[in-house]
Amino acid sequence: MILVEIADDPNETALAEELFAQRGWPVRPAEEPERAGCPPERVARVVEVRLTGAREGAVERALGLIDRLAVAASLNMWARDAVLLEHEPERYTAWRVRPAPGVPQPGRVVRTVEPRGRAGALADLRTRELAGHVHGPAVDLDPADVPSTGVRANLLLVNLGNTVAFSAAALAIAPHTGWQFFGWSVTALFGLPWLIAGLRHALRDSPARRAALWALPLASPVLLPFVTWLGGLVQDRYIGSFGIPSDAVHAGTTDRLWAGALPVTGVLYCMAFGVAAYGWNRRFHAHPDARDLGNAAFAAGMGLLLGVGLVVMPFSFHVNTSAAADARNAAVRLQEPSSYYGLRPVLVCVRPVTPVAHPERGFPGASYGGTVPLTHPVLTFGPDGDHIWLWDPRSRRAFSMDLADATFEPFDTDFTSQDQPCPRG
């Protein structure tokens, strides 16, 4: 509450009161004891500056607002006195109406100011007609802060459904588990409908819907480079597990997008799941309050953390390494490994340009990091300029060589004997 002195001019006073009203600050003429000490050529007004925040510094903030307002409007006005007021909210008790047995549930809540209590609430209920309902003496009241049986049942079903949907999604994305097919089935039949309905409940008549209209387009330019970067990271880990430098193998942008699409889709699913879980709780009023946008953002943030922990980390550190292990095992068995997001490993036979006296001893002096074997095929991901990186399935070592020193021929997959020289032609 601030005592303000304004020049005794009708225009100045009217402008000051108009500016106070525009900011929602109540203003009134100062009473005689309040304006003690004010000069007669000035008008005294008492303004309530409404602030929200810490008590410390609140008076200085209010005085600063008054001073800046006077300077901005060129008002002959200044604050003479200020005191901090704290408004205590009026205490009341809420009661849920419980009708007589056999009477339909009215869904009515009565509030009474303390200390009237249950008796005062019953008296109001039996005398006040609201929407045509006047309850008789058989009606009773229960405290409204205790969840009713219906609310508890809804909360149990909501949490049970959220647990089933999330567990199914976790099983669906978990690699190499016997429950993966079950997880995909439950996610497709139950998880996706649950997710879509939960998102609808979260965005319907909610500030989160308006926030999503600008947040999604804003996130799209950031999401595409992130998917490409993550796909490149996945491919680099796959190549690096063979001991081959990642920059020696080149893949297209489309392949990197496809490599990063699966983990990013899993993260987006977890974020959508968090928002859907909030939507189901909002639908059944499990946690009713006015912080809809904050709750939706918190749910999306928790979903993001779950997605990073349950999708991105396992996918980046396990899925690609397991795929590389499968490719190495296939190469040891002299089988063509399957491609991995645009990276196609090929079994080839190396034939030196100049004759070698002892083929079983390998290609002498033509490689870096090891000796090129000539009696069994090696694995390659293609040349990089005038060099080619090779991986030996027997020694499990990677080495490189110049393309001009040898010719490379695809390995005949029908040839299965490792004791004979690598077939040529």
pLDDT at 145 over 70: no
- Model pLDDT, residue 222: 77
Amino acid of residue 204: R
Whether this model's pTM surpasses 0.85: no
pLDDT at 60 over 50: yes
Cα–Cα distance between 407 and 399 in angstroms, integer? 16
- Model pLDDT, residue 21: 93
Q: Per residue in 272-307, is it b (16+ CB within 10 Å) or e — as a string?
A: bbbbbbbbbbbbbebeeeeebeebbbebbebbeebb
Q: Which two tokens stand for residue 413?
A: 């997959």
Which range scores top for mean pLDDT: 70-74, 295-299, 407-411? 70-74
Using CA atoms, how far residue 160 sits from 263, 274, 302, 303, 383, in Å, is 26, 14, 18, 17, 54
- Model pLDDT, residue 424: 45
Q: Which two tokens stand for residue 232?
A: 């490149």
Using CA atoms, how far residue 68 sits from 72, 79, 222, 339, in Å, is 6, 11, 40, 68
Using CA atoms, how far residue 258 sits from 108, 157, 255, 308, 361, in Å, is 55, 37, 5, 18, 42
Position 417 confidence tier, pLDDT thresholds 50, 70, 90: very low
Q: Which two tokens stand for residue 188?
A: 């497709």
pLDDT at 252 over 70: yes
- Model pLDDT, residue 418: 46
- Model pLDDT, residue 48: 94
Position 177 confidence tier, pLDDT thresholds 50, 70, 90: low
Q: Please provide residue 331's backbone torsions phi and psi, each rounded to the nearest 5 degrees.
A: -65, -35
Q: Which position has the higher pLDDT, 395 or 136?
A: 395
Position 309 confidence tier, pLDDT thresholds 50, 70, 90: confident
**Contact present, 105 and 96 (Cβ < 8 Å):** no
Which residues neighbour 91 within 8 Å (Cβ) at sequence distance 6 or greater?
A: 113, 114
- pLDDT-above-90 percentage for the chain: 15
pLDDT at 72 over 70: yes
Provide the mean pLDDT of the chain. Answer: 78
pLDDT at 425 over 50: no
Q: Which of 412, 423, 370 is nearest to 393 (CA)?
A: 370
User: How many H helices and E strands in the chain?
Assistant: 11, 13
- Model pLDDT, residue 162: 74
- Model pLDDT, residue 62: 92
Q: Which position has the higher pLDDT, 89 or 239?
A: 239
Chain center to CA of 135: 48
Burial class (CB in 10 A: 0-12, 13-18, 19+), 149: exposed
Position 18 confidence tier, pLDDT thresholds 50, 70, 90: very high
Cα–Cα distance between 289 and 207 in angstroms, integer? 13
183-209 pLDDT per residue, tens: 778 777 877 888 888 888 877 777 667
Q: Which two tokens stand for residue 149?
A: 């049986």
Which residues neighbour 339 within 8 Å (Cβ) at sequence distance 6 or greater?
A: 345
281-293 pLDDT per residue, tens: 777 765 545 566 6
Q: Which position has the higher pLDDT, 62 or 307?
A: 62
pLDDT at 161 over 80: no
- Model pLDDT, residue 364: 64
